[in-house]
């Protein structure tokens, strides 16, 4: 499972120009599910996202986590994180999980975050979405449950 995590002052997601999810201070997580991902990958990423120290303390150092600041998560499913563009010009998405399994694991990731006491807003799985991110910093972190990067 892969995630792009962006620290945000506020963010929203729209489907057909209608807001379907929004957060105040926290992180936007673009999450992709791979073919070989399991419940353990969801647990790993939820733990990592909740504890990732990307928020500044009183001395201006990134020492505080989402849990420390009681921040929120806007979680957006994004199969394109498994796009492989090493060959040719059109990415291949064969490493991405099938939609049924991806939906299940994406929802589990969101539930795992909620179980940690984090408010989680979401987009709509498989919908065309417009995501507005007020990236704070900017701070953007890449995560991979298989630790490929």
**Would you name the residues annotated as active-site residues?**
78-80
Please answer whether residues 7 and 136 qualify as being in contact, where contact means their C-beta atoms are separated by less than 8 angstroms.
yes
Spatial CA neighbour of 140 closest among 47, 11, 4, 24 = 4
- Residue 134: phi and psi, rounded to 5, are -95, 75
Q: Enter the tokens of residue 137.
A: 């910093």
Q: How many CB atoms lie within 10 A of CB 6?
A: 22
């Amino acid at each position: 499972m892969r995630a792009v995590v962006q620290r945000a002052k506020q963010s929203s997601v729209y489907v057909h120009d209608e807001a379907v999810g929004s957060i105040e201070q926290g992180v936007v997580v673009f999450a992709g599910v791979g073919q070989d991902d399991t419940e353990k990958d969801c647990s790993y990423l939820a733990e990592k996202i909740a504890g990732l120290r990307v928020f500044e303390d009183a001395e201006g150092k990134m020492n505080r986590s989402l849990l420390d600041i009681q921040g929120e998560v806007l979680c957006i499913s994004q199969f394109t994180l498994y796009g492989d563009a090493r060959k040719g010009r059109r990415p291949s998405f064969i490493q991405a999980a099938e939609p049924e399994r991806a939906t299940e694991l994406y929802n589990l990731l969101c539930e795992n975050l909620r179980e940690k006491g984090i408010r989680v807003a979401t987009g709509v799985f498989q919908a065309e979405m417009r995501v507005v991110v007020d990236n704070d910093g900017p701070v953007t972190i890449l995560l991979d449950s298989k630790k490929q990067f």
